[in-house]
A and B are shown apart, each in its own frame.
Chain A
């Protein structure tokens, strides 16, 4: 479709500024008199902070101030809050450990902030940091779940014996046990979901300023959620009223979930700015990001699936330990409980289930959201156990899925974990993906590879996502600390240009284009006359921000609702001016006209008249043309689809190469197909990264981070990825105004099990039955060798 409306692949209007180097990121903003901050971080994973001597640092050249926990305490700076509550299965309350902005008595992970040094230059701040003397008595440390739950393991929090932070359960244990009692077969699997570092291209950056005369704070921050930042600063940490706090999030170079948290540095730059009377700037370098950005995933799971004699799923039992790191991060416990359980049954008609999650403390960076947030972990569990069941029973993997997929006539379907899926057609999505990936013709290709000494495999995954976070009522009832609606203001200027103020935020998603398309479509205004404003609490009404594939479903809906109000008011004005009855005025293609006549007014004319109110008394119609709307959805959106991944493995090196990758998605209504494709591709890159490349590794004995740079942490590169074949079968969502379902996380959620399924299929003839992510060449080579040594090869 051409044009600039709904369904057009409009090139991204923001790209001109990004490509020509005119993007404006937090680091590009230099305030007059700005000073530079450096954060001294713990180099040990666990220890008692005996003494910290800052005297030499304080008198070093250029140093303006050196601060520790004691200074924050004196100013009554609060601890970092956790915005998600969980109740233990026995009804008891969990222990929420204090999470200080700067460590006071104890350090609990490498990278934990200990002191803030502010100087005239960054170099001087770093030099001074080297003069700080820290006496830390080492304590034994744990980094992995396995070690943390072992008897005699060092304990992070006395109030959480055995390092168990909470034990959360969803589902019905008794009913699940009854399901298992009826089973003809039980498939079982132990899985590890590898820990990841998000690594957005732009590191975290913050600049704080304080206007002493008005006692007003301004924060420039690379964040996905400016209003949530302001809320948490006001309520929990800085404790200044929101009316005195402005949070500006300018261009942001990628967030992926890891820029939605309330971080220590955010509080520090604002507090230091007030304390010193100077703007204070801080930017993480890449090494710092590795030890301080919230990390993700890191689950150990035992899963069991009960099947009857026909291969129908009867019940699902999941027992997961989730590595929380050393503290509760802002949304940490949400990811591994509520969101994890949202799609744990996948696209399958599983009548009963029970999911237990234990949150585990370790001496590692706290974990939180990363693209997909809980749902990649869930889809990995369900898809892997389905593959396992198929292998156990000798049923084709596609066939077993077909037997158990929820049919479209069964939707909406309520899962045992309380989520209600919306209309789609899962069997059709799978069928199309199998066709696109030529599943039927696979064995011939396998034989071709075999003739060249290579191993070919094909993998399937069905997925769905609970996106569009989220319904406030469900969130607040389940442990959430904030509402999850979204807001928009649409302002029409006198000459007809339009400004949209949205509470969502764009850090790569292209909202300046897609949201503008909504306006073009509905108001008939040219795209050059539409401006999208986000990321400034001083300009934009309250909103939540961008995460959880929610921006268009919620933010877009709010914009559409505000536009409807604009049109309604425009009709009233047009009726007055044209001396017609309001009900006779219609709005179409940018024109208000009297039905059945050629009399009418262009949108621009009405915009002007709204600001030049002569034709009516202002007590009847207010002047101006600006409307506000808030949208809170009745339910999540559930984008869904299927991936078919085909790989070829070189058994000599263990290297996996993609030969094909087919994706079919149901994203509901599609606003900009090009941007949607891009979101799918980017999501796939990150999911493939998790499956084959990325691994955050801590030394098991010292809890030192071993994969602390790109020399050791493998980010996906273009040549690691195949060309993707994408297709769509869309069923509009009934859960928002636009019928959209959200597409930002889908690729990341569905790809890991498809890739691992393909790798395991390729290795099956050699007798390999399991491999952990990431399936690096080394891991594949080892798996092949181990199977060969055990003589497991099966003739095929």
Chain B
């Protein structure tokens, strides 16, 4: 770790102000990604702005047909929220499958979304549920938010404050974990939403993506069988020590079917 200045503001305004000061500034949420990066000396920010004292960034609000989750809400709190487990059980279950208890007690939904790790779980939920990223400046639709590997539409001093989801008719997430890291080797989030069926895939490619082919098939018939024989090309998928692109392509179909089955309550 290189030395840096550490700030822990009590309100959003001062956080944003500090973030616009000169030098390289970084927000720190749960630190589950940022801290290892710093310890390995892979990043050298001048200033860390800790968001954990800003109370307005934390909490889960469930309304009749929508859910709002503060950016600083920890994975463990999302996983165990009784309200959320009733309203949007797929999301609570996804949070409960992230990392290990220690990671879930620290890691935040905002940090995960802002980081946009190609193998993270939350991005698939946000994209499949057509969620909205609310920042201190604007609202960004999920379809416009994830712009590439580890990159998003966020500007440099922009803070995610909340995530908003419309409650879908039904939804489920099926994750096939990487055996070593337990991040998603392939994770498929399937949602039957007001605007149609949406299928989002994480882990398989450089950035979370939707599968139009599957969405069209499921729109006709929302059953695992509807996906029988359908697959996506392996061309642009990840190929690493843990799995070839072909393996990932195959897992996308397998996990999509399992997600549909789970959404149907099977």
Kindly state the separation between the CA atoms of A123 and B4 in the bound complex, as whole angstroms. 13
Check if A782 sits within 8 Å of B179, measured CB to CB: no
Task: Give the contacting residue for A711; candidates B181, B243, B251; CB below 8 A.
Answer: B181
A653 touches B1 (CB 8 A): no
B179–A652 touching, CB < 8 Å: no
> Is A706 in contact with chain B by the CB < 8 A criterion?
yes
Are the C-beta atoms of A123 and B179 separated by less than 8 Å? Answer: no
A660–B179 alpha-carbon span in the complex (Å): 21
Enumerate chain A residues within 8 angstroms of B254, measured Cβ to Cβ: 652-653
Within 8 A of B (CB), among A703-755: 706-707, 710-715
Q: Is B180 an interface residue (CB 8 A)?
A: yes
User: What's the Cα separation between A220 and B41 when bound, in Å?
Assistant: 29
The docked-state distance in angstroms from the alpha carbon of A697 to that of B40 is: 21
A781 near B180: Cβ-Cβ < 8 Å = no
The yes or no answer to B241 lying at the interface (CB within 8 A) is: yes
Q: Does A777 contact B (CB under 8 A)?
A: yes
Interface of A, secondary structure class, is loop
Given the complex of chains A and B, what is the CA–CA distance between A218 and B179 in angstroms? 43
**Bound Cα distance A711, B41 (Å):** 17
CB pair A697 B1 closer than 8 Å? no
Using known A-B contacts A123-B1, A712-B241, determine if residue A782 contacts B180 with beta carbons closer than 8 Å: no
Docked-complex contact B176 and A778, CB < 8 angstroms: no
User: Whole-angstrom distance between the alpha carbons of A715 and B182 in the complex?
Assistant: 11
Are B179 and A714 neighbours in the complex by a CB distance under 8 Å?
A: yes
Q: In the complex, which residue of chain A has the Cβ closest to the Cβ of B248? A: A778
Within 8 A of A (CB), among B226-253: 241-244, 246-247, 250-251
| Also in contact, A712 and B180, with CB within 8 A (given A652-B254, A707-B241, A778-B243) | yes
Give Cα A697–Cα B180 distance, bound, in whole angstroms: 13
> Can you give 22 contacting A-B residue pairs, CB < 8 Å?
A123-B1, A123-B3, A127-B2, A287-B40, A653-B176, A654-B247, A693-B180, A697-B241, A710-B180, A710-B181, A711-B180, A711-B181, A712-B241, A713-B180, A714-B179, A714-B180, A776-B179, A776-B242, A778-B242, A778-B244, A781-B250, A782-B247
- Which residues in B have their C-beta under 8 angstroms from that of A693? 179-180
| Most interface-central of A653, A693, A706, A713 (chain B CB within 10 A) | A653
A127→B3 CA distance, assembly (Å):
10
Query: With a CB–CB cut-off of 8 A, which chain B residues contact A126?
Result: 41
CA distance A778 to B176 in the complex (A): 12
Contacting residues, chain B, for A654 (C-beta < 8 A):
247
B119 — nearest CB in chain A belongs to which residue? A711
Distance in angstroms from B264 CB to nearest chain A CB is: 18
Given the contacts A653-B254, A712-B180, A781 and B247 also touching, CB distance less than 8 Å: yes
Give the distance in Å from the alpha carbon of A706 to the alpha carbon of B247 in the complex.
Answer: 20
A sample of 18 more A-B contacts (CB under 8 A), given A714-B180, A777-B243, is A123-B1, A123-B3, A127-B2, A287-B40, A652-B254, A653-B251, A653-B254, A654-B247, A693-B179, A693-B180, A706-B241, A710-B180, A710-B181, A711-B180, A712-B241, A714-B179, A777-B179, A782-B247
- Inter-chain CA distance A126–B181, complex, in Å, is 27
- Once bound together, how far apart are the Cα atoms of A127 and B180, in whole Å? 31
Whether B244 lies near A712 (C-beta < 8 A) is: no
- In chain A, positions 772-787 with a C-beta closer than 8 Å to chain B are 776-778, 781-782, 785
**Which residues in B have their C-beta under 8 angstroms from that of A781?**
247, 250
Shortest Cβ distance from residue A23 to the other chain B in the assembled complex, whole angstroms: 20
Complex formed: what's the CA distance from A287 to B2 in Å? 17
**Smallest Cβ distance from B2 to chain A, in angstroms?**
8
Instruction: Assess A712 versus B181: contact at CB under 8 Å? Given A653-B254, A706-B241, A776-B242.
Output: yes
A712 to B180, alpha carbons, bound, how many Å? Answer: 5
**Which of A712, A713, A715 has most B Cβ within 10 Å?**
A712
Q: Considering the complex, give the chain B residue whose CB is closest to the CB of A710.
A: B180
Nearest B residue (CB) for A651: B254
Bound together, the chains give a CA A712 to CA B240 distance in angstroms of 10
B106 CB, min distance to chain A CBs, angstroms: 17
Give min CB distance, B249 to chain A, whole Å. Answer: 11
Contacts A710-B181, A714-B180 given: A782-B251 contact, CB under 8 Å?
Answer: no
Chain A's nearest CB lies how many Å from the CB of B34?
15
7 nearest A-B pairs in the assembled complex, by CB-CB distance: A714-B180, A711-B181, A778-B243, A652-B254, A714-B179, A778-B247, A712-B180
Please give, as numbers and ranges, the residues of chain A lying within 8 Å of B241 by CB-CB distance.
Answer: 695, 697, 706-707, 712
A665-707, CB < 8 A from B:
693, 695, 697, 706-707
Q: How far is the CB of B42 from chain A (nearest CB, A)?
A: 11
Residues of B within 8 Å of A782, CB to CB, are 244, 247
Measured CA separation A785–B251 after assembly (Å): 13
Q: Which residues of A contact B251 (CB under 8 A)?
A: 653
Docked pose: A123 CA to B181 CA in angstroms: 28
In the complex, what's the smallest C-beta–C-beta distance from B254 to chain A, in angstroms? 5
Q: Tell me the residues in window 1-53 of chain B with beta carbons closer than 8 Å to chain A beta carbons.
A: 1-3, 40-41
Least CB distance from B246 to A in Å reads: 8
Give the distance to chain B from A424, nearest Cβ to Cβ, in Å: 37
Q: How far is the CB of A767 from chain B (nearest CB, A)?
A: 19
CB-defined contacts of A695 to chain B, threshold 8 Å: 241
A713 to B242 Cα, complex, angstroms:
10
Instruction: Give chain A residues whose Cβ lies under 8 Å from the Cβ of B40.
Output: 287
Nearest residue in A to B243 (C-beta to C-beta)? Answer: A778
Contact with B along A762-796 (1 / 0, CB 8 A): 00000000000000111001100100000000000
A653 neighbours in B (Cβ, 8 Å): 176, 251, 254
**Complex contacts, B181 vs chain A, CB 8 Å:** 710-712
A549 to chain B, nearest CB (A): 29
What is the minimal beta-carbon distance from B1 to any residue of chain A, in angstroms? Answer: 7
A691 to chain B, nearest CB (A): 13
Q: List residues 636-656 of chain A with CB under 8 A from any CB of chain B.
A: 652-654
Residues of chain B contacted by A707 (CB below 8 angstroms): 180, 241
- Report Cα–Cα, A14/B118, bound state, in Å: 44
* Interface of chain B residues 69 through 121 with chain A (CB within 8 A): none
Centre residue among A123, A695, A711, A713 by max chain B CB count within 10 A: A711
Interface readout for B164-185 with A: 1 if CB under 8 Å, 0 if not?
0000000000001001110000
Measured between beta carbons, the chain B residues less than 8 angstroms from A697 are: 241
**Closest A residue by C-beta to B179:** A714
Q: How far, in whole Å, are A714 and B176 apart by their CA atoms in the complex?
A: 15
| CB closest residue in chain B, given A717 | B182
Contacts of B1 in A (CB 8 A): 123
Task: Say how far A500's CB is from chain B's closest CB, in angstroms.
Answer: 39
Tell me, in angstroms, the Cα distance from A785 to B250 when the chains sit together. Answer: 11
B180: A residues at CB distance < 8 A = 693, 707, 710-715
Give min CB distance, B96 to chain A, whole Å.
14
CA–CA, A715 and B40, complex, Å: 21
In the complex, what residues of B have CB within 8 A of residue A785's CB? 246
Q: Interface centre among B3, B241, B250, B254, by most A CB within 10 Å? A: B241
A711 to B250, CA, bound (A): 22
Nearest B residue to A655, CB-CB? B176
Most chain A CB within a 10 A radius of its CB, from B3, B179, B244? B179
Q: How far in angstroms is the closest Cβ of chain A from B87? A: 29
Q: Mark B132-148, 1 if CB is under 8 A from A, else 0.
A: 00000000000000000
> In the complex, A150 Cα to B54 Cα: how many Å?
62
Closest to A123 in B: B1
Chain A residue with the shortest CB-CB distance to B39: A285
Collect the chain B residues with CB atoms within 8 Å of residue A123's CB.
1, 3
- Residues on A with C-beta less than 8 A from B176 are 653
Q: How far is the CA of A165 from the CA of B180 in the complex (A)?
A: 34
Residues of B within 8 A of A287 (CB): 40
Q: Which residues of A contact B41 (CB under 8 A)?
A: 126
Residue of A nearest to B257 (CB): A652
- Tell me, in angstroms, the Cα distance from A654 to B179 when the chains sit together: 12
Q: Give the docked Cα–Cα distance between A126 and B40 (Å).
A: 11
Q: CA separation between A710 and B1, bound complex, in Å?
A: 19
